[in-house]
Structure 1
Amino acid sequence: MRVSDGVATRVAAARTLDEILHRGRSLKAALGGALPTLEDTRDRALVEALVLAALRQRVRYNAALDAWTPRPLGQRDGLLRALLLAGFAQLELGLPAHAALAATVDAARALGRAHQAGMVNALLRRATREPLPDAAADAAWPDWLARQVRADWPQQAEAIFAASMAVPPMWLRANRRVQSRDAYLATLREAGIDAMGDEALPDALLLPTPLPVQQLPGFDAGAVSVQDGAAQAVADALAPPAGARVLDACAAPGGKAAHLAERDPSLRILALDSDARRARRMQDTFTRLRLDIDARTGDATRPAGWWDGAPFDAILIDAPCSATGIARRQPDVLLHRREADLAALCATQANLLDALWPLLAPGGALLYATCSILHTENAAQIEAFLARTPDAVLAPLDARFGHDAGTGRQRLPGEGGMDGFFCARLRKA
């Protein structure tokens, strides 16, 4: 029997969620395996939306299952639980209930759960009649991490937790080498796509309702890229002079290096990443945007393997971090992050700073950035570096880049519609 497209999307969503929730796979890897199996871009977009919604709201959805099922679902019911979470998600996303229920019940049969199809039908029908349970805004956060957020941001913690449960908007970066932001905004409006500019970000456009990139006019021709507003601010924070030699040390997927090159074609940019596959995808991005950027594979903490000895005028370190500022975009972070991870991440961040500082020319600028909201990865990391590096001087950034964190600027999740993001600018004396 042929599986319909509607059933196939529910099956794909359930299997993807099962891999993330019960097998420890990352959201990116799980979606990367599932989405190419679906031919229609609308089906791929639906699967991604269902998975993200189910991960963000999993505490509420699991509470409903625990309250409404006559017997608790067992360890062997992981795939069924994942299907039910996707089922609840589709109802809260506003999909037509009758068709959504029918497709999900058929998906249970396609997954070998025909004997539980009646239960799936009953639970989803109940969800159309009764509101699902509420949950505390921090319920999805590990206890240790919620405590840390409250310690670092006592006045803003509840807003951080709430923002991390919300569906983020879509941010675009207009390629000014093709057309200005305002010209592309007019193109979007002509296509019936709702969008708005941002006064503080000259290349940025915000779309309240995300849509597949294939629907963006000129995407394949390099007219526009997807990049959060907070990440776009990096180009203004680093602000390398014309003709500068620039290192983007942890560059994949390449958005920040591309933005710098779009703004100033005279920059000589080396985009480095330690993973060869990510470096190849980064080069694909530069090719789509028609940018002359040197994309290489290399370990930024060991410059001897790739550095030619010529100093850089500007260095960007977008460091590996806890990703706590982008939990709304990567909700699996709250599932997989462990307290022990933090010490290892902080050690890597310190190694990057120490290894790359000697590569910076006197008078040059280094921008340290993370998508974390944790003090230990951000302001404390820079404080420690300044204390052990006599020729490093803090170059303050203004309020456009977020809250004053002492040795840098911190934007919190949801502020201005953007992701959580930290950046600190240093000058070599």
Structure 2
Amino acid sequence: MKQNDTIHAHTMQGQSAPLWRLLQSTAAAVQATRQGRSLTAQLESVPAELRPGVQALSFQVLRHLGRATALRQCLASKTPPPAVDALLCSALALCWRDADAVYPIHTLVNQAVEAARQQRSTQAQSGFVNACLRRFMREREALVQRTDTDVQAQWNHPRWWVERLQADHPLHWQTLLTLAQTPAPMTLRVNTQHQGVADYKKKLDALGVPSQAVGDHGLQLGKALPVQHLPGFSEGHVSVQDAAAQLAAPLLMQGLDKQAEWRILDACAAPGGKTGHLLELCPKASVVALDVDASRCERIHQNLRRLGVQGQVMAADAGQPADWWNGQAFDAILLDAPCTASGIVRRHPDVRWLRRPTDSGQLAKTQAMLLKALWPLLKPGGRLLYCTCSVFKAEGDETVQAFLQRNTDAHLRPSPGHLIPGQPPAGLPVDHNPLGEHDGFYYALLEKRQG
């Protein structure tokens, strides 16, 4: 989105919108995030013609909000009203460093001031916005240097988040924080019921789209594509799924006969990516996909229809089996438990600002409750794969170790544990392909002892 001196951003319809309008909606997204609303939900309220530009700017701002907040504190020690503060911080996040500026800095400043003038909630303080940003342009180098010692400004994550990563991953915390500032790659899962990974790679090569094999069924793209441009996407030949998430189904079914009529539960299944993968791997399996949110269950239905596979989808609370379980035990259970999503902050840069220090501990209680509720549903000799898209140990190793202490019939099979982006994963089959770039994840495969 690098521009010269233009103040317009092109939209999907080929029209253009003034930059000040995009900045208004970007600032509204920052304000909403600070008030606890997810960026995904906020973007749904943005007019369709503005949404692509606003999403791109919002991602950039949220990745640099720590630095921007520290700079704003230097420029105005008293916190301005929320709408004014959000607009100021948005502008500062976009222009604090030349290498990351998506527009010329003088253009960003002019258009941020115009955004303030054009909006009732900020109009009265447009002069204040102008004064702060003009001062920043004059003193930028000194102001940036002044904020360099601020942990939140340096790493663009809350201080508590940085400290937790330092404690949980003393060797890799800097890698985790650095990677969080970069866009995540687009990774595909090839449906091998239709074709092999190598065959699909040839189709991408023919389109001029470079890719590399990752995992057992994945291809990581050198550049992102709209899904409608992917060969065979609407026919279910391929799905978009991160390389770490693609491990779930193969790990759960590792060493088992894929042609057997297994009875499998996918708890907390929405949007259905892992459900679909299970049915691709085990076409004769009977898979029950649960999600507590009925609207998200529709996403599961849509995914399974596109893939041409069938599973039983139920809107129900996995933690309350008495409300939905028919008493027939499962051979295998996949529990992708609710978590802080600290491992997918590259894809969702708002997560770092939405979470609170106590969230991990509270979610760990939910995870423990779900494990306790689902374990009795598993046959002796069956297996349960526990996973989260979190890099915090309270939601991974600590949860599983506590469960093992309370359940002597549970045995921990060889498992990857915490998957750290940028580090080779452990606990995978010897012949497993490298995962390339991937999200942060946790996996523990638990087996119920016979007798």
Equivalent in 206, 225, 229 of residue 243 of structure 2: 229
The number of equivalent residue pairs is: 409
Equivalent position amino acid for 2:321 in 1? P
TM-score scaled by length of structure 2: 0.80
1:19 — aligned with what? Answer: 32
Equivalent in 44, 47, 55 of residue 54 of structure 2: 47
1:31 — aligned with what? Answer: 43
Secondary structure of 1:38's aligned partner: coil
**Deviation at residue 276 of structure 1 after TM alignment:** 1.0
Equivalent in 66, 80, 86 of residue 74 of structure 1: 80
Query: Is the 1:279–1:296 Cα contact (8 Å) retained in structure 2?
Result: yes
Does the C-alpha gap of structure 1 residues 210 and 45 become closer, same or farther in structure 2, counting only changes over 3 Å?
A: farther
2-structure distance, mates of 1:72, 1:148: 29
Does the C-alpha gap of structure 1 residues 281 and 130 become closer, same or farther in structure 2, counting only changes over 3 Å?
A: farther
What is the root-mean-square deviation in Å for CA atoms of aligned residues?
Answer: 3.2
**Deviation at residue 88 of structure 1 after TM alignment:** 3.2
Tell me, which stretches of 5 or more residues in structure 1 are unaligned? 402-408
Select between 363-372 and 188-197 the one with higher mean Cα deviation: 188-197
| Mapped pair 1:146 → 2:162 | yes
Tell me, which stretches of 5 or more residues in structure 2 are unaligned? 1-7, 9-14, 424-435
Equivalent in 421, 435, 439 of residue 413 of structure 1: 421
1:216 — aligned with what? Answer: 230
2-structure distance, mates of 1:111, 1:325: 36
**Deviation at residue 5 of structure 1 after TM alignment:** 2.4
Query: Is the 2:319–2:374 Cα contact (8 Å) retained in structure 1?
Result: yes
Does the C-alpha gap of structure 1 residues 65 and 146 become closer, same or farther in structure 2, counting only changes over 3 Å?
A: closer
Secondary structure of 1:352's aligned partner: helix
Query: Is the 1:368–1:423 Cα contact (8 Å) retained in structure 2?
Result: yes
Equivalent position amino acid for 2:251 in 1? A
**Deviation at residue 252 of structure 1 after TM alignment:** 1.1
Equivalent in 312, 324, 328 of residue 346 of structure 2: 328
1-structure distance, mates of 2:18, 2:230: 24
Select between 212-221 and 166-175 the one with higher mean Cα deviation: 212-221
1-structure distance, mates of 2:298, 2:106: 41
**Deviation at residue 287 of structure 1 after TM alignment:** 1.8
| Mapped pair 1:358 → 2:358 | no
2-structure distance, mates of 1:284, 1:89: 43
**Deviation at residue 424 of structure 1 after TM alignment:** 0.6
| Mapped pair 1:349 → 2:367 | yes
**Deviation at residue 315 of structure 1 after TM alignment:** 0.2
2-structure distance, mates of 1:74, 1:155: 39
Does the C-alpha gap of structure 1 residues 181 and 190 become closer, same or farther in structure 2, counting only changes over 3 Å?
A: same
Q: Trace 1:20-419 onto structure 2 (pairs within 5 A).
A: 20-21=33-34, 23-34=35-46, 37-39=47-49, 44-67=51-74, 69=75, 74-76=80-82, 77-81=84-88, 83-85=90-92, 87-88=94-95, 92-93=99-100, 95=102, 97=104, 101=108, 107-112=115-120, 115-116=126-127, 122=134, 136=151, 139-198=155-214, 201-239=215-253, 241-242=257-258, 243-397=261-415, 401=416, 409-415=417-423, 416-419=436-439
Query: Is the 1:175–1:203 Cα contact (8 Å) retained in structure 2?
Result: yes
Query: Is the 2:187–2:240 Cα contact (8 Å) retained in structure 1?
Result: yes
2-structure distance, mates of 1:380, 1:313: 25
Higher helix share: 1
1-structure distance, mates of 2:306, 2:97: 34
Does the C-alpha gap of structure 1 residues 14 and 218 become closer, same or farther in structure 2, counting only changes over 3 Å?
A: farther
**Deviation at residue 103 of structure 1 after TM alignment:** 5.9
Equivalent position amino acid for 1:20 in 2? T
Does the C-alpha gap of structure 1 residues 154 and 6 become closer, same or farther in structure 2, counting only changes over 3 Å?
A: same
**Deviation at residue 359 of structure 1 after TM alignment:** 0.8
Secondary structure of 2:381's aligned partner: strand
Query: Is the 1:373–1:422 Cα contact (8 Å) retained in structure 2?
Result: yes
**Identity percentage of aligned residues:** 37
- What's the CA shift string for 1:266-307, capped at 9, x where partnerless? 121111011111111221222222221222111111111111
TM-score scaled by length of structure 1: 0.84
Equivalent position amino acid for 2:37 in 1? R
**Deviation at residue 56 of structure 1 after TM alignment:** 1.4
Query: Is the 2:268–2:292 Cα contact (8 Å) retained in structure 1?
Result: yes
2-structure distance, mates of 1:322, 1:167: 19
